[in-house]
């Protein structure tokens, strides 16, 4: 991979490699764009097969955060971290504290939170070294685990997409195929079950599947069977690139609406599902609940205010569908257009000179 070529192509600001021999920390922080504000995005810990795979994931995920934060109306830019390692075996206190010091060194350009493989406890360790971390324990007046709130936003967005496909936003009696029943999806399943939806679930972790079957009467299928099941809605809630050449023709759902980041392997797959008449709720729009919730910590956390904002994921999905119809484009392009236009508007409005404590003239006061 020619790194600078890639950074230039998608206009990334910064890519950092953090290494701490004693703790085994190998982290990559990618900061995509800070036009709207400091880059906020979670830390993923995963067993990447190669370093290149880890770099690509950090880059793709951080760009996704730029678009997610912009589309959600937050005054935040996009960044993300990946830590290379097995979250079940390789974590230790020193690792997260070393990582916290790297974040502190960025002086607020990047703020972290949870993602796949990291927990509130990990964020608390990072917080020992820096204030530039969110999703820490409620004991600190913080918002805690973002997953249930992400799930609520996905539920709201799924209803908006269902309204477009079925003429009603009621999910009662709808069959929803949920791929991955981890932190977000378990909570999503609860909302769907309470509304009377029927659930088909899968996960590579048998215990997670058993929990969903027991709690919600879900039907379990093998991981590779989930794409082809007869259902109304497909909810990708595991990892990315699941909408691809191998899966598209298997999908029978009329709606795709789930929590996973980077669901489309390539943009062309967004065009293909559009051509098939599937209503696609763009991933970074529908899964913004978690970041909306943790971002509220920066104002002094107020759960009621945060949840009210998360409810608006419904309206944002409606708006994206409206733009897609107006401009005759797929929803993923409509979401990109909406996010890019906001960034551009703010970039322009900020071009006026404003003296502040960070400006070079500050030394002359
Ligand atoms: N946690 C949040 O608040 C949040 C916010 C926005 C987006 N997301 C995204 O949502 C997705 C899920 O996040 P999470 O926090 O619930 O993570 P998680 O690790 O708790 O859950 C993911 C689940 O997917 C399963 N899985 C992995 N590969 C699979 C496969 N091939 N087939 C079936 N199951 C598989 C895992 O075993 C796990 O149970 C991720 O893509 C994450 O980036 C999470
Ligand atoms: C809670 C968030 C800051 C990060 C979350 N993992 C996301 O992808 O949106």
Q: How far apart are CA 348 and CA 340, in angstroms?
A: 12
* Cβ of residue 289 lying under 6 Å from some atom of ligand 2: no
In ligand 2, which atom is closest to the CA atom of 287? 9
More confidently predicted of 96 and 357: 96
Residue found by looking up tokens 């709720």 in the block: 281
Q: What is the pLDDT of residue 15?
A: 98
* Cβ of residue 114 lying under 6 Å from some atom of ligand 2: yes
* 155 contacts: CB under 8 Å, gap ≥ 6: 188, 191, 192
Ligand in closest contact with the CA of 68: 2
Range in 47-56, 143-152, 354-363 the model is least confident about: 354-363
Bridge partner residues of 41 (DSSP): none
* Cβ of residue 115 lying under 6 Å from some atom of ligand 1: yes
Q: What is the pLDDT of residue 64?
A: 96
Mean pLDDT score, 300-318:
97
CB 237 within 8 A of CB 180: yes
Rg (alpha carbons) of the chain, rounded to whole number = 20
Nearest to 117, CA basis, from 98, 95, 132, 101: 95
More confidently predicted of 7 and 239: 7
Task: Summarize the annotated binding site as residue ranges.
Answer: 180-185
Cα of 288 to ligand 1 centre, how many Å?
14
Reported as a single tens digit per residue, the pLDDT across 86-128 is 999 999 999 999 999 999 999 999 999 999 999 999 999 999 9
Mean pLDDT score, 272-300:
97
Two tokens at 99?
A: 């990582």
Ligand in closest contact with the CA of 203: 1
- pTM, rounded to two decimals: 0.95
Mean pLDDT score, 223-249:
97
Q: Give CA separation, 189 vs 257, 289, 351, in Å.
A: 13, 16, 45
Two tokens at 111?
A: 């703020």
Catalytic residue among 26, 63, 68, 80: 80
Mean pLDDT score, 80-86:
98
Q: What is the pLDDT of residue 141?
A: 87
Ligand in closest contact with the CA of 223: 1
Q: Is the pLDDT of residue 359 over 70?
A: no
Q: What is the pLDDT of residue 351?
A: 74
Residue whose CA lies nearest to ligand 1 atom number 11: 260
Q: Is 80 a catalytic residue?
A: yes
Cα of 33 to ligand 1 centre, how many Å?
25
In ligand 1, which atom is closest to the CA atom of 186? 16
Q: How far apart are CA 81 and CA 99, in angstroms?
A: 10
Bridge partner residues of 44 (DSSP): 82
Q: Is the pLDDT of residue 350 over 80?
A: no
The beta strand positions in the chain, using DSSP E, are 14-20, 25-33, 39-40, 43-46, 77-84, 110-111, 175-179, 198-202, 219-220, 233-236, 255-256, 279-280
pLDDT band of 1, cuts 50, 70, 90: confident
Q: What is the pLDDT of residue 266?
A: 96
pLDDT band of 357, cuts 50, 70, 90: low
Distance of CA 67 to the CA centre of its chain: 10
Cα of 281 to ligand 1 centre, how many Å?
17
Q: Is the pLDDT of residue 361 over 60?
A: no
In ligand 2, which atom is closest to the CA atom of 288? 9
Cα of 197 to ligand 1 centre, how many Å?
21
Q: What integer best gives the mean pLDDT of the chain?
A: 95
Q: Phi then psi for 289, rounded to 5 degrees?
A: -55, -40
pLDDT band of 349, cuts 50, 70, 90: confident
Task: Summarize the annotated binding site for NAD(+) as residue ranges.
Answer: 180-185
* 1 contacts: CB under 8 Å, gap ≥ 6: 52, 55, 56
Q: How far apart are CA 241 and CA 271, in angstroms?
A: 14
* Cβ of residue 204 lying under 6 Å from some atom of ligand 1: yes
pLDDT band of 330, cuts 50, 70, 90: very high
Cα of 184 to ligand 1 centre, how many Å?
7
Rounded percentage of the chain residues whose pLDDT exceeds 70: 97
Q: Is the pLDDT of residue 363 over 70?
A: no
């Amino acid at each position: 991979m020619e790194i600078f070529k890639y950074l230039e192509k998608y206009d990334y600001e910064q890519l950092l490699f953090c290494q701490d021999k004693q703790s085994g920390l190998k982290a990559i922080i990618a900061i995509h764009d800070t036009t709207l504000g400091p880059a906020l995005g979670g830390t993923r810990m995963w067993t990447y097969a190669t370093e290149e795979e880890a770099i690509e994931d950090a880059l793709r995920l951080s760009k996704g955060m730029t678009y997610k934060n912009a589309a959600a109306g937050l005054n935040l830019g996009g960044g993300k971290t990946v830590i290379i390692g097995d979250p079940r075996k390789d974590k230790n206190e020193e690792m997260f504290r070393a990582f916290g010091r790297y974040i502190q060194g960025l002086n607020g350009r990047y703020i972290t939170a949870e993602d796949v493989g990291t927990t509130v406890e990990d964020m608390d360790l990072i917080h020992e070294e820096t204030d530039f971390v969110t999703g820490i324990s409620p004991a600190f007046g913080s918002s805690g685990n973002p997953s249930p709130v992400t799930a609520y936003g996905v539920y709201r967005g799924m209803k908006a997409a269902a309204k477009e496909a079925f003429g009603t936003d009621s999910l009662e009696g709808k069959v929803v195929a949920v791929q991955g029943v981890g932190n977000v999806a378990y909570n999503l399943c609860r909302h769907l079950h309470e509304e009377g939806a029927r659930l088909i679930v899968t996960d590579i972790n048998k215990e997670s599947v058993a929990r969903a079957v027991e709690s919600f009467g879900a039907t379990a299928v093998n991981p590779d069977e989930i794409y082809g099941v007869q259902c109304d809605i497909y909810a990708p809630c595991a990892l990315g690139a699941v909408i691809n050449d191998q899966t598209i023709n298997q999908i029978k759902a009329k709606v795709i609406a789930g929590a996973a980041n980077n669901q489309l392997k390539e943009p062309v797959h967004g065009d293909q599902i559009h051509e098939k008449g599937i209503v696609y709720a763009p991933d970074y729009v529908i899964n913004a609940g978690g970041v909306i919730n943790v971002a509220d910590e920066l104002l002094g956390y107020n759960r009621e205010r945060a949840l009210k904002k998360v409810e608006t994921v419904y309206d944002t999905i409606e708006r994206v569908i409206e733009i897609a119809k107006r401009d005759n484009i797929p929803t993923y392009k409509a979401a990109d257009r909406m996010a890019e236009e906001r960034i551009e508007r703010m970039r322009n409005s900020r071009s006026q000179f404003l003296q502040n404590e960070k400006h070079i003239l500050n030394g002359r006061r």
